[in-house]
């Protein structure tokens, strides 16, 4: 059995699966009048049975009535929602706060290649309040691939170019959608022997890939500081290190680390890539939090990369949180069992299927 080794300096994997740096603030689709609403155009890339619609909201003024219709509509002859729900459910909006709304709808077969609208609609009359959909708070990570439509007094407007496509469609076993949405934060700095960072585990039957370097998205590196990244296996054994001097990175939000020893990441094996300070005050590290861990696995095509803390003895993972940053792999390896030598593309981070 021959082991095929393919050098590459082009294999870059973002840790959170959809973006590593872009944050957008104060962008939202607002529902603040009678017979208003928000709609996203969506074409599934595979057939699935829809059971649940999830989106992010932020309440500016408590809505009354607080019940909204949420569901799937077809496309009219003018390219707007056609006004008829193929399936729907109701969402009771809270009087304040923000978060992920999860709305159960009547099971509906989404047909591959068929255009739909995902629609949120409020009361026809008597409505007061202001609710922002998909954003509304600063430091949210979101997709800007496709715009949303807003409805005012029963009339849909043209698509906006801002903050589009940030919803999830759930089949009961898998998430779908054009993008993902997370809330961003930054974690308290750690000093050795305490560390924080990310796990990394390839799915079964994935080719081995060799880690060369990486970037963590950091906050306020300071002069007089030395901090490093340590690659460990799940048992805590140190495999490689990379050191950065904060004197040269005080204005950098993406600190670059190149490891002293390249590490082969083998399918099914968990690794931990950890940041810590060795001199001075280490920087904070940016993170993203999603509404559950399964979304993160779906969007990464089976790769697992969870935020993790290490106290010198024990790892503690948070499965719906991830670090922001990039990994750079310079080699792909796989065992060829026969036939002509071929190059195989590895699985990797991507947007949702469909």
The rounded distance, in Å, linking the Cα atoms of 200 and 57 is 31
**Torsion sign across C-alpha atoms 294, 327, 254, 307:** positive
Instruction: Find the radius of gyration of the CA atoms of the chain.
Output: 23
Q: Are strands 155-156 and 284-289 parallel, antiparallel or unpaired?
A: unpaired
295 three-class SS? helix
Predicted local distance difference test score (pLDDT) of residue 136:
43
Q: What is the pLDDT of residues 321-334, one digit of tens each?
A: 989 888 999 888 87
In contact, 346 and 11? CB cutoff 8 Å: yes
For the stretch 70-102, pLDDT in tens is: 999 999 999 999 999 999 999 999 999 988 899
pLDDT, one tens digit per residue, over 117-141 is 999 999 999 999 999 887 544 445 5
Matching residue, tokens 């490689």: 240
Residue ranges of the domains in the chain?
A: 2-18+185-336, 29-179
Is residue 343 scored above 60 in pLDDT?
Answer: no
Query: What is the b/e burial string over 146-183, where b = at least 16 CB atoms within 10 angstroms of the residue's CB?
Result: bbbbbbeeeebeebeeebbbbbbbbbeebbbbbbbbbb
Question: Rounded CA gap, 290 and 269, in Å?
Answer: 24
Mean pLDDT score, 263-287: 90
What local confidence, expressed as pLDDT, does residue 139 receive? 47
The answer to whether the beta carbons of residues 60 and 136 sit under 8 Å apart is yes
In whole numbers, what is the pLDDT of the chain averaged over residues? Answer: 83
Does 220 have pLDDT greater than 80?
Answer: no
Per residue in 1-33, pLDDT (tens digit) is 567 777 776 788 888 755 444 444 445 678 988
The per-residue pLDDT for range 288-332, each reduced to its tens digit, is 888 888 877 777 778 899 999 999 888 999 998 989 888 999 888
CA angle 59, 115, 177 (to 5 degrees): 50
Q: pLDDT-based confidence at 350, cuts 50/70/90?
A: very low
Give the side-chain half-sphere CA count within 13 A for 199: 25
Q: What pLDDT, on a 0 to 100 scale, did the predictor assign at position 146?
A: 58
- Domain 29-179, CATH number (from 3.30.160, 2.50.20, 2.60.120, 2.170.220): 2.60.120
Distances (CA, A) of 291 to 183, 295, 311, 322: 9, 8, 26, 12
2-18+185-336 and 29-179, same CATH topology: yes
- 2-18+185-336, CATH topology level: Jelly Rolls (2.60.120)
Per-residue pLDDT at 351 exceeds 80: no
User: Given this model, what pLDDT does residue 27 score?
Assistant: 54
Structure tokens belonging to residue 133? 């959909």
Q: Do the Cβ atoms of 98 and 115 come closer than 8 Å?
A: no
Residue 296 phi, psi (nearest 5): -65, -40
What is the predicted pLDDT for the residue at 289? 82
Instruction: Rounding to the nearest 10 degrees, give the CA dihedral for residues 54, 55, 59, 60.
Output: -170
Q: What are the CA-CA distances from residue 89 to residues 49, 58, 84, 103 (Å)? A: 15, 19, 13, 6
Per-residue pLDDT at 238 exceeds 60? yes
Residue 113 CB coordination number (10 Å): 9
State residue 180's pLDDT score.
61
Nearest to 329 by CA among 251, 245, 273, 287: 273
Mean pLDDT of 102-114: 97
Q: What is the pLDDT of residues 175-213, one digit of tens each?
A: 887 666 677 778 888 888 899 999 999 998 888 999 999
Out of 99-113, 158-172, 274-288, pick the least confident.
Answer: 158-172
Which of 192, 191, 190, 168 minimizes the C-alpha distance to 179?
A: 168
């Amino acid at each position: 059995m021959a082991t095929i080794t393919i050098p590459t300096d082009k294999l870059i994997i973002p840790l959170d699966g959809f973006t590593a740096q872009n944050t957008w603030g104060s962008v939202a689709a607002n529902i603040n009048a009678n017979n208003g609403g928000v709609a996203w155009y969506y074409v599934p890339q595979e057939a699935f049975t829809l059971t649940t619609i999830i989106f992010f909201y932020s309440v500016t003024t408590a809505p009354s009535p607080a019940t909204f219709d949420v569901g799937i509509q077809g496309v009219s002859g003018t390219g707007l929602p056609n006004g008829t729900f193929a399936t729907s459910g109701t969402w009771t909006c809270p009087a304040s706060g923000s978060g992920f709304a999860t709305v159960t709808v009547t099971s509906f077969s989404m047909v591959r290649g068929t255009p739909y609208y995902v629609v949120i609609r409020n009361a026809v009359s008597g409505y007061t309040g202001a609710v922002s959909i998909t954003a509304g708070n600063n430091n949210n990570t979101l997709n800007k691939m496709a715009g949303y439509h807003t409805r005012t007094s029963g009339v849909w407007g043209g698509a906006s170019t801002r903050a589009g496509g940030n919803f999830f469609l759930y089949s009961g076993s898998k998430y779908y959608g054009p993008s993902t949405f997370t809330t961003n934060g930054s974690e308290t700095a750690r000093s050795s022997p305490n560390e924080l960072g990310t796990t990394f585990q390839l799915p079964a039957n994935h080719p081995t890939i060799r880690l060369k370097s990486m970037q963590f998205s950091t906050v306020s590196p300071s002069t007089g500081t030395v901090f490093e990244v340590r690659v460990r296996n799940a048992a805590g054994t140190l495999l490689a290190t990379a050191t950065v001097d904060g004197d040269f990175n005080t204005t950098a939000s993406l600190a670059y680390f190149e490891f002293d020893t390249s590490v082969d990441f083998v399918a099914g094996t968990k690794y931990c890539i950890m940041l810590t300070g060795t001199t001075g005050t280490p920087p904070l590290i940016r993170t993203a939090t999603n509404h559950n861990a399964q979304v993160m696995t779906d969007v990464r095509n089976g790769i697992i990369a969870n935020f993790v803390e290490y106290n010198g003895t024990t790892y503690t993972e948070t499965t719906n949180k991830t670090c922001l940053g990039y990994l750079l792999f310079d080699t792909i390896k796989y065992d060829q069992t026969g036939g002509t030598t071929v190059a195989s593309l590895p699985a990797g981070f991507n947007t949702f299927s469909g």
